[in-house]
Amino acid sequence: MEHALRGMILAILAVMLCMSPAARAQDLGLPDSPVLVVDLNRLFNETLFGERVASELEAESAELAAENRRIESELTDEEKDLTERRADMSPSDFRDAADEFDAKVQRIRSEQEGKARALAEENENAQRRFLGAARPVLERLMRESGASVLLDTRGVLLSSDVVDVTDAAVERIDDAIGDGSEVPADVEEDAPDLPVEPQESPPLVIPPQEQD
């Protein structure tokens, strides 16, 4: 019985090895093509990994936007108070107070812009980790399709929908890494050098000081 089972397995493997790359690709629901294309924006945004990152960054961005609005309100009130006290101040004292307020505005603006840049960098780092973790999945998909090149759709002028493997890649990446919460940071070292657009950071609004 064991001998017969071993023979059956070897026979199945022999049949698989004799199959053409096109037949193997078709059996896997993949195109048989030397060139494949993938939509990197969709690949990131529609995977569980990308959805988790987007949700976290959206919460952080909302928190930063709320902080900016609070700061804007406080600085507006402070500027209004300074303007109302101007009549009781000497020109020299008012000028010193105005300069101090302007320096405070510039410092806060720099701090808030730094936080916005940190959010953008956080998103870019997450995308690099994603590409690093997704690379083995994409390479296997290429091998199964017999492809030697995988292109981003943004760099392709015309292509057939048949060679677009974004849907298959999204499904396989979700199966392989889930939401990516367990993906180590150093995996981004294996990320291919591909153009992934960062998300927009929240706007910074701080009122300028009015000068006479």
Higher pLDDT: 21 or 174? It is 174
- What is the pLDDT averaged over residues 118-139? 92
Q: What is the mean pLDDT of the chain?
A: 80
Q: Return the exposure string of 42-66: e unless at least 16 CB atoms fall within 10 Å of the residue's CB, then b.
A: bbbebbbbbeebeeebeebbeebbe
Residue spans of the domains in the chain: they are: 1-30, 34-190
Write the pLDDT tens digit of every residue in 58-89. Answer: 999 999 999 999 999 999 999 999 999 999 99
Q: How far apart are CA 163 and CA 34, in angstroms?
A: 9
First to last CA, the chain: 99
Give phi and psi for 151, each to the nearest 5.
Answer: -115, 150
CA distances from 211 to 101, 102, 167 (A): 12, 10, 57
Q: How far apart are CA 30 and CA 34, in angstroms?
A: 12
Total number of residues shown for the chain: 212
- Identify the band that residue 29 occupies on the pLDDT scale cut at 50, 70 and 90: low
